[in-house]
Structure 1
Amino acid sequence: MEAKTSVFLALAICSLFINLAQCSQLIYQSKWKLLKRSIGVSAMHMALLPNDKVIIFDRTDAGPSNLSLPQENCARVHHQSAHEATDCYAHSVEFNPANRDFRPLTISTDTWCSSGALSQDGVLIQSGGYDDGYKVVRYFKPCLDCDWIEEQNGLIVPRWYASNQVLPDGRIIVVGGRFQFNYEFIPKTSTNDKKLYQLPFLEETMHLPKVPNNLYPFLHLSTDGNLFIFANDRAILFDYVHNKVVTKFPVMPGGVSRNYPSTGSSALLPISLVGNNSSPSVEVLVCGGTFPDSNVKANAGIYMPASKSCGRLIITEKNPNWEMEEMPINRVMGDMILLPTGDVLIINGAASGTAGWAVAREPVLNPVLYKPNHEKTGRFELMNPTTIPRLYHSTAHLLSDGRVLVGGSNPNVNYNFTTLYPTELSLEAFYPPYLSTSSKSRPSINSIKPGVDLTYLQKFYLGFKTNYVPDKIYVTMVAPSFTTHSFAMNQRVLVLDFSQVGKNGNLSGSKGYINLEGFAPARPELAPPGYYLLFVVCDGIPSRGMWVRIKKL
C-alpha cells in the first residue's frame, strides 16, 4: 500500500512539471525519512566533521529561533536594529545522525550568507557573514563539548556571499563577496596571507550593479593546482599564486545566470586516478539557475521559469566547449551533491522565481539523479518526492553512511511559520537508489592497512566483505563539503587506482572477503591534505564510508 501511494504521489507531482510520458521514467527505489521534526534552528549552513557529527547554523539576526541557549551561554550580539541586545537563542547546533540527538552551540556574530571549509586538521573554518560578522573567522573543533571560537578580525575585508576552497598547501582561499572583487587566504600564517589580491573577473561578471548575479562564485580546484572560477555565465582558470588568468573559457550558452541570486549549482565530476593517472581529465558540471533579471521581476511579483539547462566543460582540454543538456525539471536553488558512486544528486529548489526573500514559487519536490558516465539521453533519473518544500536557505549534505541529510528553508526575513512557505526547522534523510532493498548486501570495509593515515602515492590495502561475488568493484574518496546557498564548497570525488589481489581467503580465510591493493592520490593538487571518506563500491552499491586522512610527509 505504501509503495502504491508513493508512486501515485510521485506521478501527481511529476505531472505538474513535465508530461506524463516522461513521468513513466520515474525511479521509485529512492525514499525519504523524517529524522527530526525540529532542531530549533533553520539549516542555512551545513558541514560534516570527521567524527560524523554535522554542524548546522543559521544567521543570528533573523530573530528568536526555537531553541534556547543555556543561560550561561547567552551572547551579546549586534542585530540589524541599532542597539545591542542579549540573545539567549541558539543559532547553531551539532547534530548526530546516528541517534538524532542535537545540542545547541553559541555564535555571537552574524553568520548570514557566510562560507566555510574543513581544515587539514579536521577543524571547521568558517568565514564572513553580515554586519558584525563581516570580517569574522570562526573555528569549530570536533570534540565532545567544543563550541565555536570566533576571531573578530580574521579577514582583511568584509565577506558576504563569498566562496571558499581548500588548496594543495592546506590553506583556504576566500573569493569574492558582495562588492568585493578580490580574494585572500586563511588562516593567516604567513606574510603573503595578510595581503589582499585583486580579481577583476568578479567585477566584469556583474550583470546589474544593484543585483549582481555572480555572488557565491563556483570554485573548483583543478589537478594542475589552478582554480576554476565560475561567475554568472562565464569562467576562468586562475593562477592564484601569481594572480593571473590562465584560461578564459567560452561563455556558457543560453543567456542564463547561474550564481546568486539567479542561483544554480555546480560540481566537479569524479576524477579518475585509475591506472595511476597523475594528470587526469577534469570536468565541471553546472546546472539550473534563471535569467539575469529574474530577481528584479520576482520582487515585482513576476516569477519567471527557472532553467532546465546544464553544461559540462572539460577544463583540462586545450580548446574546451560547453556540452549542453537539459534536466527533466526547471530548477533554481538546487543543491548538487556528489555521491560515493560518482553520480550527482540534484535536490531542493523551485521551478520559478529566484533566490531571496519570498521570491520563489513552485517548490521542486523531486530530486534528480545525474549519471555522468551514461549516454547523454539517459543521464537523468527522476527520484521520489519529499513532502517538504526546500527553498531559499535550504541545504543538503552527504553522510558517511551514504544517505543525504536535507534541511533548512527560510525564505522569510525572520522565523515565520504562518506564511506561504514557512520557516523549516526539520531534518530529513534522502535514501538514494543504492540504499533500496536488494538481494545484494552493501559491502563492508573491514580493514585499511597499514592504517587510515595516508601519505601521497602510498600503497595500501583495503579489505572488505560482501555476500556475493561482485562483477564491478571500484574505490572512491569523497572530500566533505561545506554547503550553503546551493553550492557544496570543496566537495570532490576521486576514483582511486586499485587492483584485486584475492578473494575468499586472502584477507581472513572466511568466505566473502576481498582484498584490494591500491595507491593514495599522487599529489596534493589531486587531493588537498585533510580528511576524506573512503568507499568501496560493488556493482553500484557503496559501503559505509571510512574516514581516512592524507598528510604531507
Structure 2
Amino acid sequence: MDPKILIFMLLVCCSSVFNVGAQSYQGKWKLLKRSIGVSAMHMALLPNEKIVTFDRSEFGPSNITLPQGKCIKEDSKSSDCYAHSVEFDPATRAVRPLTILSDTWCSSGAFSIDGTLVQSGGYRLGEKVVRYFKPCMDCDWEEDQNGLLSPRWYASNQVLPDGKIIVVGGRYQFTYEFIPKLSGSDRILYKLPFLKETRYSALVPNNLYPFLHLSTDGNLFVFANDRGILLDYINNKVIRSYPVMPGGISRNYPSTGSSVLLPLKLFSTTDSDNNTSTPDAEVLICGGTAPDSNEKANVGVFVPASKSCGRLIITAASPEWEMEEMPINRVMGDMIMLPTGDVLIINGAAKGAAGWGVARDPVLNPVLYRPDARNSDGSTRFEVLAPSLIPRLYHSTAHLLSDGRVLVGGSNPNINYNFSALYPTELSLEAFYPPYFTKKKPRPSIVAVNPGLKIGYKQKISLEFTLEGSVILSDLFVTMVAPSFTTHSIAMNQRLLVLAFNNEVKKTSSGNYLVEGYAPETAALAPPGYYQLFLVHEAIPSKGKWIQIKQF
C-alpha cells in the first residue's frame, strides 16, 4: 500500500480525537503540481494572479534549469544553470524559471504602491541586496546589490502609510531602516535596542523575524520573543511597552510561532454622517515553543510545542493578554487571514523547533480560528479541519489566492535538497479549500466596482454583484485584503479590513444587486497599494477583485 494512503487512512480513523468531520464540512486538499522545481521557502501573490516563489541560491542544483543563455557565471570556468526562483500560474499550473543572482535565504519582502514585489536581504552576498519583481508578462528579477545599509538575514518588513517599507532586525542587527532609498532619512540606520534586550541569550538570538503590524494610529507594533512595543519609527522612539505574554513561551524564530492583525472593522458611514472614528487594533499570536527547544532538539530531545494563543488590543488604554489554547500543539504554523475574517492556522510540527532536522510529529490538520465565535459559555473559537498527506515543516509556506483557496508549498528541513531524508525536500504545491467551499450555499460574484478599480481614500464606492436567491443583509459584508510576503511562518504586511457599507441593498436594472459604502479613510488604516476585494454573504466569499488604493 502507498505510504501516503496509509497515513491518510490512519488520520481519518483517528480524526475523532480532533472532532474532524463530525459536525461540518472540514475543507479539502488538492495537489496542484507535483514539482515546481524549487522548494517554496518564500512566496508572494502578484496583482496579475501569478505566484512568485524561491528558496536559496546555495542549495546546490534545483530540479529546474534556466532558459538557454540565462546561466549565471560563477567564475571564468563554471556557471550555474539551475533556477532558484519560479513564477507559478495557479490557473494553468504553468511554471516559468526566473533568474536570481544573489542568495535570498531567509530574506523578507513587501509590495510597493504599483504592485512591484520588493524583496530584501538574505545570506552572505545577498544580505544587503534589494530585489524587484514587477507583475508583467516576461519580467524577471532586478537587483540592487547595495540597496540596504545593514546586513539583513531573518529580518521583517512592513509597508508604511507613505508607501515606504520598513525593514526591522535580522541576525545580530538591532536596527531598522527604510527602502527604497529616496531621501536623506532613508539613508540613516536607526537603532532599536529592544531587539537586543529580548534575546534568550547572546549566543541564541531566538527573536529573529520579529512580528510587525502597522497600528491604526500609524505607529508600528513590534513583537520579539515574548513581548511587544509600539514604535514611533519616524522619531525613533518607543512610545509604549506592552505586558509580557504569559506562559514562558518564545514565539519568534527558531521557536517559531505566528501572528496576525485581526480584522480592522471600519465603522458604518452615510453620505451625511461620515464617521471618522478609528477602530481598535488587536493582535493574535499563536504557537511557538520553549526558549531552549532548539538547543535541546540539536541533541535529540524534542520538546512539545505550545498550544497557547494570545490576543492583545494594542490600542487599548490598559491592554492585557487574553489567552486561549489551540486544539493541537504547533510550532512553525502559518497564520493566514481568510476573506471571511477567520484565521487559518496551517503547516508546522507538534514537537521541536525551526531549523534543519530539529522538528518531529508534523501537524497535518489545519485549524480554523473564528475571532468572534466564542459563545457565552466559553466554548472554543477553534475548529480542526481536514488533513493533508504532505508534512510541511521548516521552510514551508502558505498564501491566500484570489479565488479563496490557500496555496501551500515548500518544506525542506535539510541542509540541501534531500529526497530520502526523514522529512524529504518538498517541491510540490497543493491547495487547501477552506470550509466556505461547501456546496450548501451559493457563492456571490462581484460584477463591477464603481467608480473603478483605482480608489482614493474616503471615496464612495459601490459593488454590483450577483447571487442565486435573496440577500440576507445581516450576513453581508465586504473585506479588503493586503497581499503578503510569506516565509518562515510570517505573512509580512498581511492585513484585512471590513469596509464600511450602508445597510441597504439595491437592485440594478439588469437584476443584479448593488451595495454602497466607503473606502478606508487613512493610509494608516490601509497603506497605499493593491488589495484583494471580497464580498462575503452567509460566510461565503466571492472571488477577489484587485483594486489599488492611494491618493490620486
> TM class by shorter-chain length?
over 0.9
Which position in structure 2 is the counterpart of 1:173?
166
Which position in structure 2 is the counterpart of 1:36?
33
Q: How far apart are the structure 2 equivalents of 1:360 and 1:488?
A: 21
Map 1:48-127 → 2, pairs under 5 A: 48-76=45-73, 85-127=78-120
Which position in structure 2 is the counterpart of 1:209?
202
Q: How far apart are the structure 2 equivalents of 1:388 and 1:23?
A: 18
Which position in structure 1 is the counterpart of 2:445?
444
Say if 1:255 and 1:550 are closer, same or farther in 2 by CA, change over 3 A. same
| Secondary structure of the structure 2 residue equivalent to 1:73 | coil
Q: How far apart are the structure 2 equivalents of 1:26 and 1:49?
A: 36
| Secondary structure of the structure 1 residue equivalent to 2:335 | strand
Deviation digits for residues 204-255 of structure 1 (CA, Å, limit 9, x no counterpart): 0001222211000000000000000000000001100010111100000000
Which position in structure 2 is the counterpart of 1:480?
483
Q: Which amino acid aligns with 1:444?
A: S
Percent of residue pairs identical: 67
Q: Which amino acid aligns with 1:467?
A: E
Map 1:219-368 → 2, pairs under 5 A: 219-275=212-268, 276=275, 278-368=277-367
Say if 1:145 and 1:351 are closer, same or farther in 2 by CA, change over 3 A. same
- Contact 2:267–2:279 at 8 Å: present in 1 too? no
Which position in structure 1 is the counterpart of 2:43?
46
Q: How far apart are the structure 2 equivalents of 1:490 and 1:131?
A: 25
Which position in structure 1 is the counterpart of 2:271?
none
- Contact 2:19–2:384 at 8 Å: present in 1 too? no
Say if 1:263 and 1:85 are closer, same or farther in 2 by CA, change over 3 A. farther
Q: How far apart are the structure 2 equivalents of 1:429 and 1:121?
A: 27
Superposition deviation, residue 12 in structure 1: 3.5
Q: Which amino acid aligns with 1:479?
A: A
Q: Which amino acid aligns with 1:454?
A: I
- Contact 1:460–1:517 at 8 Å: present in 2 too? yes
Which ranges in structure 2 are unaligned for 5 or more consecutive residues?
269-274
1:463 aligns with 2:464: yes
Say if 1:69 and 1:549 are closer, same or farther in 2 by CA, change over 3 A. same
Say if 1:502 and 1:312 are closer, same or farther in 2 by CA, change over 3 A. closer
Q: TM-score, normalised on structure 2?
A: 0.95
Superposition deviation, residue 305 in structure 1: 0.2
**Greater CA drift, 252-261 or 84-93:** 84-93
Q: How far apart are the structure 1 equivalents of 2:437 and 2:250?
A: 35
| Secondary structure of the structure 2 residue equivalent to 1:362 | strand
Q: How far apart are the structure 2 equivalents of 1:205 and 1:437?
A: 48
Superposition deviation, residue 501 in structure 1: 4.0
Superposition deviation, residue 86 in structure 1: 1.6
Q: Which amino acid aligns with 1:520?
A: A
Deviation digits for residues 403-434 of structure 1 (CA, Å, limit 9, x no counterpart): 00000001000000001000000000000000
**Greater CA drift, 5-14 or 158-167:** 5-14
Q: Which of 415, 421, 426 is residue 413 of structure 1 equivalent to?
A: 415
Superposition deviation, residue 378 in structure 1: 2.7
| Secondary structure of the structure 2 residue equivalent to 1:461 | strand
Q: How far apart are the structure 2 equivalents of 1:502 and 1:42?
A: 46
Say if 1:77 and 1:214 are closer, same or farther in 2 by CA, change over 3 A. farther
Q: How far apart are the structure 2 equivalents of 1:84 and 1:234?
A: 51
Superposition deviation, residue 27 in structure 1: 4.5
Deviation digits for residues 38-57 of structure 1 (CA, Å, limit 9, x no counterpart): 00000000000000001000
| Secondary structure of the structure 2 residue equivalent to 1:390 | coil
- Contact 2:199–2:205 at 8 Å: present in 1 too? yes
Q: How far apart are the structure 1 equivalents of 2:537 and 2:482?
A: 20
Say if 1:84 and 1:400 are closer, same or farther in 2 by CA, change over 3 A. farther
Superposition deviation, residue 514 in structure 1: 1.4
Which position in structure 2 is the counterpart of 1:147?
140
Q: Which amino acid aligns with 2:489?
A: S
Q: How far apart are the structure 1 equivalents of 2:115 and 2:12?
A: 43
Q: How far apart are the structure 1 equivalents of 2:505 and 2:80?
A: 60
Deviation digits for residues 328-368 of structure 1 (CA, Å, limit 9, x no counterpart): 00000000000000000000000000000010000000000
Which position in structure 1 is the counterpart of 2:272?
none
Map 1:375-524 → 2, pairs under 5 A: 375=374, 376-438=378-440, 440-471=441-472, 472-503=475-506, 506-510=507-511, 513-524=512-523
Which position in structure 1 is the counterpart of 2:535?
536
Q: How far apart are the structure 2 equivalents of 1:290 and 1:25?
A: 30
**Greater CA drift, 330-339 or 208-217:** 208-217
| Secondary structure of the structure 1 residue equivalent to 2:195 | helix
Which position in structure 2 is the counterpart of 1:525?
524
Say if 1:407 and 1:77 are closer, same or farther in 2 by CA, change over 3 A. farther
Q: Which amino acid aligns with 1:431?
A: Y
Q: Which amino acid aligns with 1:356?
A: G
| Secondary structure of the structure 2 residue equivalent to 1:285 | strand
- Contact 1:77–1:108 at 8 Å: present in 2 too? no
Q: How far apart are the structure 2 equivalents of 1:371 and 1:464?
A: 26
- Contact 1:479–1:531 at 8 Å: present in 2 too? yes
Q: How far apart are the structure 2 equivalents of 1:353 and 1:7?
A: 23
**Greater CA drift, 273-282 or 325-334:** 273-282
Deviation digits for residues 116-151 of structure 1 (CA, Å, limit 9, x no counterpart): 001111000000000110100000001110000010
For the aligned residue pairs, the C-alpha RMSD in angstroms reads: 1.8
Superposition deviation, residue 7 in structure 1: 9.3
Q: How far apart are the structure 2 equivalents of 1:8 and 1:89?
A: 38
- Contact 1:40–1:67 at 8 Å: present in 2 too? yes
Q: Which amino acid aligns with 2:429?
A: L
Say if 1:77 and 1:54 are closer, same or farther in 2 by CA, change over 3 A. farther
Q: Which amino acid aligns with 1:385?
A: P
Matched residue pairs, number? Answer: 537
Q: Which amino acid aligns with 2:223?
A: F
Superposition deviation, residue 87 in structure 1: 1.1
Q: How far apart are the structure 2 equivalents of 1:242 and 1:537?
A: 40
Q: Which amino acid aligns with 1:496?
A: L
Deviation digits for residues 424-480 of structure 1 (CA, Å, limit 9, x no counterpart): 000000000001222x22100011111010000000111100001132100000000
Q: TM-score, normalised on structure 1?
A: 0.95
Say if 1:538 and 1:189 are closer, same or farther in 2 by CA, change over 3 A. same
1:157 aligns with 2:156: no
| Secondary structure of the structure 1 residue equivalent to 2:259 | strand
Q: How far apart are the structure 2 equivalents of 1:21 and 1:381?
A: 8
Superposition deviation, residue 70 in structure 1: 1.3
